[in-house]
Amino acid sequence: MKMSRGKRNVLFAGALSCAMLFGIGNTMAYFTENSVQTNVFTTGDLDIGLKEPDWDPNENDGKNMYPGYTVYKNPTVKNITSDKNGDEPCYVRMSVDILNSQGTPITDDQALNLIYKTIYFDKTFTGGYDKKEGKATGLIQDRIPGYNLAQLAAYPMVNPLWTKDTARSTASKLVFNYMGAKGDGILNIGEESTLFTNIAIPTDWNQTQMQKVGNYQLKVTAQAIQSKGFATQSEAYRMLDEEIKGGTLQEINRGSEN
């Protein structure tokens, strides 16, 4: 399929969560959300935003975690395109890079498998893109004594409205495509979706497991491309990959949206 470059809308809402350092068992320096820059790449009017309003490093979120530690972390993407030119539905995907404290991808399979078991989605969570201080009745922040592995097994890693892109994912970079309730992958103007809601350290982890996990970062990036003009979501993502690889997108820098 051929499209004129002027009509192809592609956008990155990039790396909003890139500076979230999780300190396990000792005091670590960490960045704050206010210092994070959101890099937006677009060739048209399409615009998305990425926020996680309930994550606040200034309140020590993610610092000095321990078995039983539970905190809200809710990366949420929203189609914030203006409707002045009509509808602008898009396909959206999010990637989660799992990095060490130096920002390098973690390669230890044992560490990665443990980190996977700290990320959860709770459908009872009430927070959103423009709503801070969300609450949940399932996985509750700061609950004492926390949750064990058997309890956490009742929750999926990510929102069921998102599916893992196995072709683009690696062990340390997990890519998820938004599918939506209808399964068509369309995110319309004004619509939003949260990828996951909690970071939880199981109560039954021992010191060996805590040390294996160490200090890690989760870098969350959202990417979107207009859905109009594409027969399928996969076709749109192939075009998006070509745009990224070719470096043909316009970059617009703007401050953190939190």
115-128: per-residue pLDDT in tens?
Answer: 999 999 999 999 99
Exposure of 88 in the CB half-sphere (CA atoms within 13 A)? 23
Mean pLDDT over the full length of the chain? 81
Q: Which two tokens stand for residue 24?
A: 């396990």
Q: Is the pTM of this model over 0.75?
A: yes
Looking at residue 7, what DSSP letter applies? G
- Does the structure show a pLDDT above 60 at 103? yes
- Does the structure show a pLDDT above 60 at 75? yes
Cα separation, 20 vs 22, whole angstroms: 6
Closest by CA to 92, choosing from 19, 23, 159, is 159
Find out whether 54 and 72 touch, Cβ atoms under 8 Å: yes
76 three-state secondary structure: strand
Residues 112-140, mean pLDDT to the nearest whole number: 95
Cα→Cα distances 213→74, 120, 142, 189, Å: 21, 17, 20, 39
Looking at residue 111, what DSSP letter applies? H
Domain ranges across the chain = 5-255
Q: Which two tokens stand for residue 67?
A: 């078995």
Cα separation, 186 vs 81, whole angstroms: 14
Contacts of 87 (CB under 8 A, 6+ apart): 188, 189
150 three-state secondary structure: helix
